[in-house]
Chain A
Amino acid sequence: MPIVEVSGLNKTFGSGELAVHALRDIHFTVEAGELVALLGPSGSGKSTLLLCMSLILEPGSGRIVMNGQSVYDSGATGIDLRRFRRENIGFIFQANNLIPFLNARENISLALQLNGRSKRDATRRAQELLEYLEIGHRAESMPANLSGGEQQRVSIGRALANQPPLIFADEPTAALDTERGMRVMGLLRKIARERNSAVITVTHDQRMIEGFDSVYHMQDGRFVDAAEAAH
């Protein structure tokens, strides 16, 4: 069963002559355990697609089904979007956006506690995740005292905390050098394989596209093939 099914998705900002068609008739399917890249230049619509699939931005029309549940069908479907997001989607950001007043373990533990885990259980699970990401020794460190790569790993840990079937990564390697970027991409691949989570990554970093199961090129709000994108 596909984890994400997007069909006929459109999104337009503004109206009349000023209308910007950010998404045009997007059809898109992602399977569990699949590592997908959304590639495209700035303004191509990849971030808008990510926001729509993240249930943060309401599309104009179309249909989104996630984990077998219809979450958008040319209008709201009445589900609690924030709760659905909490239980089904993990986020990894370009700037990692860790909560600066929580240490590494607390950043992960918070996501678990928000999902109803007890403090003790959440702390134990957060420590396990940090060990899995090979930064268990940095559990007590505040984000400001972590390197960029370490911060990104904590961010990945937070995204994995509730074992979501779907992870969105927005330019996860943009702030990292090539070596650290490669390591993060390796980690995302490992997560997709070992945890059977679908990982959809928005990037314009051509260095990182090797190893993705599927690569979608976006241009002017629609998917184009690689040749057209290169042209």
Chain B
Amino acid sequence: MDLAVKDIRRHVGKFIATIIGVGLLLTIVLVMNGIYQGNIADGVWLIENTGTDLWVVERGRGGPFNESSRLPADAYRSVAATPGVARTGPFIAYSAQREIGGASQQFTIIGYDVFGGLGGPGRIASGNAIRAPHYEMVADDKLGLHLGESVRLGTRSYTVVGITHLAVDAGGNPLVYLSLPDAQEVLYQQDGRALVAARAAGLKRLELSGYNPEQAAKLLPLLAGATDTISAVLLRLAPGADAEAVRARIRDWLYFNVYTMDEERELMLEGRLRRMSAVLGLFRSLLVVVSIVIIALIVYVLTIEKIRSIATLKLIGAPNSVIVRLILEQSLLLTAASFVFAWSLVQLIGERFPRTLVFLPQETAVTFAVMLAGGVLASFLAIGQALRTPPQLALGG
């Protein structure tokens, strides 16, 4: 006779309410799993979807994502001249925050050579890639933009010609692709008053250094910060080229840092994502422990509620195995049903969740196994109490 199921049937409403409560907690555990993996997936998405064999960045820096990197825009031509290199392309990436669709939205702007091909959006969900040298953009659907829509960035408007899906930066923010000159313009342009103020300050500095106003006016453009810079050079190797030799040559002769895709991914995982992943991992572990403690308390309360029945079972000669099975089965049913509830809920909310959620089947299976083991562990407290219960409790004294 399955006593556990019989008992649950008697309190089916209460048991369902408990499943929903524990299930919501497990939903958070699964969502944390999803955020953890989503954080990694987002973090390396751009690296893995840029379609380059090597990343050439500023010497001594771990750019372009983990650390800023500035190269002269024409550096890609020098790199292209290196033996073993098939194609190169300039690449710039930076964060921006603008009012789009009535809300302030953060995104990353990617500037690339729209005619060279390297660094552009890989898969376009609708529309097409940028075909004109100026004023066109491809945006991720997270921004809520539509094809043909016009977006103001700085002093100019850009027309959305393509929409991507799940194209995000390391922080999960959507990507906006522009042609390289447009991206540089959006990055470096200043409004009129800021330009006037910067010019006045520059002239003042020169005059204080002993130049007369005419000389200062002539020298000023030479001192202005370069606006024709890029973050990295993307590089595609020629068939059969020795990547290590190409790297060494660029490193030694052009004095740049060169990373493979794996190294760039490692830089991201060990750098920018490391602390976030550690925090998420810690939270995940804490939530699992909290869930197990809560299940333990619920199973304990369920057991205490029927402690007189357990004493009666003992009195009429039920072996301990019957009592252990009653408690253990309820604990496992509670854990398993809560997990199924949590999993179903996650499937429902996953698409609408503000951050990318990635669920790895093996990780979900491990979480389920851990929770089941936790369910067994959680029942020990109640089993201990039940086995200590004297049968005379059924007699009332």
Q: How far is the CA of A110 from the CA of B2 in the complex (A)?
A: 10
Residues of A within 8 A of B312 (CB): 93, 97-99
Residue in A94, A95, A111 whose beta carbon sits within 8 Å of that of B316 in the complex? A111
Q: How far is the CA of A100 from the CA of B3 in the complex (A)?
A: 11
Residues of B within 8 A of A113 (CB): 1
Find the A residue at minimum CB distance from B310: A99
Give the residues from 349 to 397 in chain B that come closer than 8 angstroms, CB to CB, to chain A. Answer: 390-392, 394-397
Give the residues from 97 to 136 in chain A that come closer than 8 angstroms, CB to CB, to chain B. Answer: 97-102, 106, 109-111, 113-115, 119
Residue in A56, A83, A109, A114 whose beta carbon sits within 8 Å of that of B390 in the complex? A56
A83 and B317 contact, CB distance less than 8 A? yes
Q: How far is the CA of A85 from the CA of B315 in the complex (A)?
A: 8
Asked if B308 CB lies within 8 Å of chain A CBs, one says yes
Q: How far is the CA of A100 from the CA of B8 in the complex (A)?
A: 11
A56 and B315 contact, CB distance less than 8 A? yes
Asked if B309 CB lies within 8 Å of chain A CBs, one says yes
A86 and B317 contact, CB distance less than 8 A? yes
B313 and A56 contact, CB distance less than 8 A? no
Residues of A within 8 A of B319 (CB): 82-83, 114
Interface SS, B side: helix
Contact mask for chain B residues 309-344; partner A; CB cutoff 8 A; 1 contact, 0 none: 101111111110010000000000000000000000
Asked if B6 CB lies within 8 Å of chain A CBs, one says yes
Residues of A within 8 A of B7 (CB): 101
**B15 → chain A closest CB, angstroms:** 12
Residue in A91, A93, A101, A170 whose beta carbon sits within 8 Å of that of B9 in the complex? A101
**B325 → chain A closest CB, angstroms:** 12
Residues of A within 8 A of B396 (CB): 93-95, 170
Q: How far is the CA of A86 from the CA of B1 in the complex (A)?
A: 17
Q: How far is the CA of A54 from the CA of B390 in the complex (A)?
A: 13
Find the A residue at minimum CB distance from B316: A111
Find the A residue at minimum CB distance from B314: A82
A82 and B317 contact, CB distance less than 8 A? yes
Q: How far is the CA of A86 from the CA of B311 in the complex (A)?
A: 14
Contact mask for chain A residues 203-229; partner B; CB cutoff 8 A; 1 contact, 0 none: 000000000000000000000000000
Residue in A83, A109, A115, A158 whose beta carbon sits within 8 Å of that of B1 in the complex? A109
Interface centre among A56, A98, A115, A170 (most CB of B within 10 A): A56
Asked if B218 CB lies within 8 Å of chain A CBs, one says no
B397 and A99 contact, CB distance less than 8 A? no
A51 and B395 contact, CB distance less than 8 A? yes
B317 and A114 contact, CB distance less than 8 A? yes
Which bucket holds chain B's interface residue count?
20 to 34
Residue in A91, A102, A119 whose beta carbon sits within 8 Å of that of B315 in the complex? A91
Residue in B311, B318, B394 whose beta carbon sits within 8 Å of that of A114 in the complex? B318
Residues of B within 8 A of A83 (CB): 317, 319
Given contacts A56-B315, A82-B317, A106-B1, contact A101 B10 (CB under 8 A): yes
Residues of A within 8 A of B390 (CB): 56
B309 and A99 contact, CB distance less than 8 A? yes
Contact mask for chain A residues 131-146; partner B; CB cutoff 8 A; 1 contact, 0 none: 0000000000010000
Q: How far is the CA of A106 from the CA of B319 in the complex (A)?
A: 18
A56 and B308 contact, CB distance less than 8 A? no
Asked if A163 CB lies within 8 Å of chain B CBs, one says no
**B303 → chain A closest CB, angstroms:** 13
Given contacts A47-B395, A113-B1, contact A100 B309 (CB under 8 A): yes
Q: How far is the CA of A100 from the CA of B11 in the complex (A)?
A: 11
Find the A residue at minimum CB distance from B309: A99
A87 and B10 contact, CB distance less than 8 A? no
Q: How far is the CA of A187 from the CA of B301 in the complex (A)?
A: 38
Residues of B within 8 A of A93 (CB): 312, 394-396
Find the A residue at minimum CB distance from B390: A56
Give the residues from 32 to 66 in chain A that come closer than 8 angstroms, CB to CB, to chain B. Answer: 47, 50-51, 54, 56-57
Can you name 26 A-B pairs with beta carbons within 8 Å? A47-B395, A47-B397, A51-B392, A56-B315, A56-B395, A57-B392, A82-B314, A86-B316, A86-B318, A91-B316, A94-B396, A97-B308, A97-B309, A99-B312, A100-B309, A101-B6, A101-B10, A101-B11, A101-B306, A102-B6, A109-B1, A110-B1, A111-B316, A114-B316, A114-B317, A114-B319
* Contacts from B to A (Cβ < 8 Å): 1, 3, 6-7, 9-11, 306, 308-309, 311-319, 322, 390-392, 394-397
* Contacts from A to B (Cβ < 8 Å): 47, 50-51, 54, 56-57, 82-83, 85-87, 91, 93-95, 97-102, 106, 109-111, 113-115, 119, 142, 158, 170
Known: A47-B395, A99-B312, A100-B10. 6 other contacts (CB 8 A): A51-B392, A51-B395, A86-B317, A87-B317, A97-B308, A101-B3
